[in-house]
A and B are shown apart, each in its own frame.
Chain A
Amino acid sequence: MNNIINTRTAAATRKKRKYSKQNFLEFLCVVPALALILLTAYYPIADLFRISFTNWNMIKPTYEYVGLTNWKWLIDTWEINHVFDSFIVTLKYTIGHMAIILVLGLALALLFNRMTKGFAFMRSVVFLPHYVSMSTAALIFTVILNERYGIANAILEAIAGIRVNWLMDGSLALLMMIVIASWRAIGYDMLIYLSGMQGISRDYYEAAMLDGANGRQILFKITLPLLAPTTLFLGVTQFISSMKVYALADVLTAGGPYRATEVIVYLIYTMAFVDYRVDRAAVVAVCFFVFLLIATLLTMNVSDRKVNYDA
């Protein structure tokens, strides 16, 4: 009898000892961060789904649950509710922006890849716009692109003899958004590509030289393929961040002209805080969230399988 009790207590203490007091303190370390993450990320996203099933318009204090009414609105009126258009605008902006910064980022990395003081200085000048915020960049370019007094039109007139209204023509305004955002981002991409290039082992180049490869072969057969993980990293992070563009559209064009630069976040903001249709804005936000989630998961899947170079 005594024996049995003894083994039991021993087992119990052993089980208890699996986690010590130290371990409990370690757990306490993650509690504040977890609590804040639950409050600032998970609670709001859950609440967003809930709001999308109500008919709340922020002016009324009360609201009812109306099931899928808002979702029905989204689908039934897709031709006139601007959500789809706005999504296309955002995608155009994102794809244009990504193409420019990835290609030029890589090109400039190759161009500036010389380890002298002068080149280091020029690299940091090209990187400098990265520190200028999106809203500030928009302000600077408002002056440059002004139709009557801006330098852009003065140059264009001197060269081609025409003046254009940079920010009042729909597709041109979107293009200018891409240009401004790219001005800020190319230097960053260049820098990441440069460090990616430095991460490529010298052995590959030496082997290629021995085999008599020329400069172009080395570029296309070694440097570029081995930079695939870098491209993927830049692609994934910058795709997500350019889909979320807001400040640029707000400061530069306020979504105009005629909604030509009304990106998705701008639309959600307007629906919620200008039109007070919180319920419908929530539906659009949920769609946007699901889109971003799927895009992220897909690219993560690709990165696990396809890009697996030892660089």
Chain B
Amino acid sequence: MTVNNLNRDSRIARTKKRLLRFTQTVVAILVTLIFAFPLYWMLNTSLKSHEEMTSVIPSLIPAQGLHWENYVDALKTAPLLRYMLNTAYVTILQLVLQLSTGILAAYGFARGKFPCKTLLFTLVLGALMIPHQVTFIPMYILISKLDWVDTFAGLVLPTSVSAYMIFMLRQNFMSVDQSYLDAGRLDGLGILGTIRHVLVPMCRSSVATVAFVTVMDGWNNYFWPKILVKSDEIRPIALGLAMLKSAWDQSIQFQYYNVLMAAVLMSLIPVVILFALNQGNMLSGYSKAAMK
């Protein structure tokens, strides 16, 4: 084989490789566009006029100008801000309860020494296998006995503790070296001090991840509110939007779905803000959860 031949071979290989990379990029862009399309379509629809909504061939951009008044109409049609505040309130309550009970319990199970510790922890893990979708009937009966139907307390109670969070945080608290805790104790830290000044700061990213999961679940929660909520004063946003949809029949009143999409888009704003704030941490956190 001559040097020329070798050169040609490597040139072919290089061209092949470049072609492969090019194809990869093109396919990747196409896939990305497909995944983004429904979100774009929501934005597009939210800016169309009522008249344009019912044209037989929907246009890829609003053809009759941008109708921002759909957003105003959405806010007028349903108390969306109220719904969002309700959701935020419930989510924050849930977060505070889950974090306070979860961090304490994770500390107890990771670092404590008391009888039946393994058994009690198994009890916590067992709760992971008892989903709300199974227990919602007795839960509803319990809540109605407490006279908490259609109240914030009733909304929060079933999700006031998270076995998943206890499990995740315990893993992380166990991985902290004992010498840090000893040092803290020498400095006169009690249990709460140790948690606040040693464990939580050292496991910052895990705490942020589980907190983020709780916030997302709280914001998106649909099932339990659907059972419990009857009044606008406590109705969360996910439920409010679905109500808006069922108020407009989808074949006869489709021209109002631009307002619905405007409402949906506004409900996603807090999610987008959280996403932007937490992007890097979030992605690595999710992967860490899977790698355990």
Contacts and interface: CB of A to CB of B under 8 A. Distances in A.
Contacts of A288: 133-134
A149 B58 contact: yes
B291 to A, nearest CB: 6
Contacts of A29: 104-105, 107-108, 112, 191
Contact of B127 (A23, A42, A47, A142): A42
A250 B225 CA distance: 13
B113 A135 contact: no
Nearest to A188: B286
Contact of B264 (A139, A147, A272): A139
A277 to B, nearest CB: 11
Given A26-B113, A111-B24, A150-B58, A246 B223 contact: yes
Contacts of A125: 32, 35-36
Nearest to B222: A247
B142 A140 contact: no
Interface stretch (B5-13, B48-56, B71-79, B202-210): B48-56
A81 B226 CA distance: 24
B216 A131 contact: yes
B241 A195 contact: no
Contacts of A114: 24
B102 A33 contact: yes
B105 A187 contact: no
Contacts of B239: 135
A161 interface: no
Contact of A134 (B27, B166, B219, B222): B222
Chain B interface size band reads: 35 or more
A139 B241 contact: yes
Contact of A30 (B55, B108, B126, B268): B108
Given A23-B114, A26-B114, 10 more contacts: A26-B112, A40-B160, A41-B135, A45-B130, A133-B220, A139-B260, A149-B54, A154-B56, A199-B291, A230-B290
Interface of A: 19, 22-30, 32-34, 36-37, 39-45, 47-48, 51, 108, 111-112, 114, 118-119, 122, 124-129, 131-144, 146-151, 154, 183, 186-188, 191-192, 194-196, 199, 230, 233-234, 240, 244, 246-247, 250-251, 265, 268-269, 272-273, 278, 281-282, 285, 288-289, 292-293, 296
23 contacts: A26-B107, A26-B113, A34-B123, A39-B142, A41-B163, A42-B126, A44-B130, A111-B31, A125-B32, A131-B271, A135-B220, A136-B241, A136-B268, A140-B39, A141-B38, A192-B290, A247-B226, A272-B137, A273-B140, A282-B137, A285-B137, A289-B134, A292-B131
Going nearest first, the 8 A-B pairs with the smallest beta carbon separation are A26-B112, A133-B220, A195-B287, A33-B105, A29-B108, A47-B138, A44-B135, A30-B108
Interface of B: 24-25, 27-29, 31-32, 35-36, 38-39, 41-42, 45, 53-58, 100-102, 104-105, 107-109, 111-115, 120, 123-124, 126-127, 129-131, 133-142, 157-161, 163, 166, 190-191, 216, 219-220, 222-223, 226-227, 238-239, 241-242, 245, 250-251, 254, 257, 260-261, 264, 267-268, 271-272, 275, 279, 283, 286-288, 290-291
